[in-house]
């Protein structure tokens, strides 16, 4: 009897260890595999050339990734700039100022928004955001565009990120104990002072990690962005011009044009870049969290 229990216990230990190892190893395996698939291009062209030039002419074996990296970063930054303040203040209002009933109503709404497939957001972007950009935003700046642009991508992405970040922010603000707020109020602080010094400060790591995860998600989002961003290899600071983010490059071309030498390898390299950049975003935000927790 005892032996059986002991064996069972050992087995469950081993099982948990294996699953844990799988979770840890998986990203590593993906990274290594992508690197090896991309190594053909790396040996042929060299890393500096790939990351330092902006010419994309696969037929001539010219693979400059700068426009793609730039587009990705641009779209993500715009999306972040639109969505972070909105979700931040919405979360503060929902958890600190509104009636408790409001939060109960909003929570399923947020969940539904977060659960809408990205293709739906893409279609909505084509129907609403793209015309909005071409007919309202662009004329205001005396510019003509089809509307399929970095800006449209950023706006669609922002709308997609809001429920995602809002959810995490609400969670982290709700963990601030009521007693802490009461302590601040009882010292004569106003509602905003209490929110600023007690709630926001206490949930700082939570805020940073919501922003970080939101950004990483935005960076990797493929379909909806691809549908509205124009998909043209360009390098322009003007957000009304079209762009071509990394995920769109992979999704648009994978499985096609494989007759071109090195193309397959170039797409793998794009995936590898995406992987590395998202990992870097995560690590940077981890570091911020670590720093803020140390204070």
The contact set with other proteins (CB under 8 A) reads 99-100, 177-190, 193, 197-198, 201-202, 204, 295
Beta carbons of 250 and 270 less than 8 angstroms apart: yes
Q: Is the CB of 38 or the CB of 195 nearer to other proteins?
A: 195
Instruction: Report the nearest approach of other proteins to the CB of residue 165 (Å).
Output: 22
DSSP state, residue 63: E
What is the distance, to the nearest Å, from the Cα of residue 148 to the centroid of all Cα atoms in its chain? 20
Beta strands in the chain (DSSP E): 56-57, 62-63
Q: Is the CB of 110 or the CB of 199 nearer to other proteins?
A: 199
- Cα–Cα dist 199/94, whole Å: 13
What is the helix (H) or strand (E) element at residue 182, kind and residue range? Answer: helix 178-186
Instruction: Report the nearest approach of other proteins to the CB of residue 108 (Å).
Output: 21
Instruction: Report the nearest approach of other proteins to the CB of residue 177 (Å).
Output: 7
Helix (H, G, I), strand (E, B) or coil at 240: coil
Cβ-based burial of 113 (10 A; exposed 0-12, middle 13-18, buried ≥19): middle
Q: Is the CB of 5 or the CB of 295 nearer to other proteins?
A: 295
Instruction: Report the nearest approach of other proteins to the CB of residue 176 (Å).
Output: 9
Q: Is the CB of 103 or the CB of 235 nearer to other proteins?
A: 103
Instruction: Report the nearest approach of other proteins to the CB of residue 99 (Å).
Output: 6
């Amino acid at each position: 009897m005892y032996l059986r229990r002991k064996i069972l216990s050992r087995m469950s230990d081993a099982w948990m260890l294996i699953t844990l190892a799988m979770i840890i190893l998986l990203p590593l395996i993906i990274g290594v595999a992508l690197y090896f698939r991309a190594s053909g291009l790396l040996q042929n062209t060299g890393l500096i050339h790939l990351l330092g030039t902006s010419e994309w002419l696969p037929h001539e074996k010219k693979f400059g990734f700068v426009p793609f990296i730039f587009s990705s970063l641009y779209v993500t930054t715009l999306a972040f700039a639109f969505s972070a303040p909105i979700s931040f203040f919405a979360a503060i209002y929902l958890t600190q100022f509104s009636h408790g009933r409001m939060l109960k109503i909003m929570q399923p709404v947020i969940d539904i928004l977060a659960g809408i497939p990205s293709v739906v957001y893409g279609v909505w972007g084509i129907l609403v955001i793209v015309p909005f950009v071409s007919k309202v935003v662009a004329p205001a700046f005396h510019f003509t565009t089809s509307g399929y642009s970095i800006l449209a991508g950023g706006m669609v992405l922002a709308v997609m990120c809001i429920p995602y970040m809002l959810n995490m922010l609400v969670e982290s603000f709700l963990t601030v104990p009521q007693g802490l707020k009461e302590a601040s109020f009882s010292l004569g602080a106003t509602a905003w002072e209490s929110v600023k010094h007690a709630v926001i400060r206490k949930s700082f790591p939570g805020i940073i990690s919501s922003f970080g995860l939101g950004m990483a998600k935005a960076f990797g989002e493929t379909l909806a962005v691809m549908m509205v961003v124009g998909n043209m290899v360009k390098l322009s600071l003007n957000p009304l011009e079209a762009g071509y983010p990394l995920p769109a490059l992979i999704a648009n071309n994978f499985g096609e044009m494989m007759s071109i030498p090195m193309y397959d390898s170039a797409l793998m390299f794009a995936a590898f870049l995406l992987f590395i950049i998202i990992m870097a975003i995560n690590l940077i935000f981890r570091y911020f969290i670590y720093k803020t927790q140390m204070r």
